[in-house]
Amino acid sequence: VFIFVECTRTGGELVTVELDGEEIGRYPLDTDVRLPLKDGKNVLVIEDGKAYMENADCPDKVCVKTGKISRVGEQIVCLPNRVFIRVVGKGDEILPIN
């Protein structure tokens, strides 16, 4: 089942960025950018159609170890800093996370 799900995911168009439960922006994956988040505690990089967490000050660095994401549904989460990054298609509805 996991293989089927992975094979059916399509390339995303946007990355949504949430801090402390609030969406702060949507960024196209086709535009290279470096975004400091949480006063520079986390650094999100978008380049070559992929997004990844370049740096984080959290102890376990799960968000950094997640690596590059580019397909709809993939996500990067930094729980200690309350940062949530998600790949979506242009017309995807974003449901709030409570």
In 3D, which of 91, 46, 42, 89 has the Cα closest to residue 68?
A: 46
> Can you give the pTM of this predicted structure?
0.81
Enumerate domains of the chain plus CATH numbers. Answer: 2-88 (2.60.320.10)
The residue that leads in pLDDT, 33 or 93, is 33
What 3-state DSSP class applies to 9? coil
pLDDT one-digit tens code per residue, 34-53 = 999 998 899 999 999 999 99
Give the integer Cα–Cα distance in Å for 46 and 29: 6
Q: In what order do the strands lie in the sheet with 42-47?
A: 33-37, 42-47, 50-56
Residue recorded with tokens 């968000």: 63
pLDDT one-digit tens code per residue, 60-91 = 999 999 999 999 999 999 999 999 999 998 76
- The reported pLDDT for the residue numbered 5 is 47
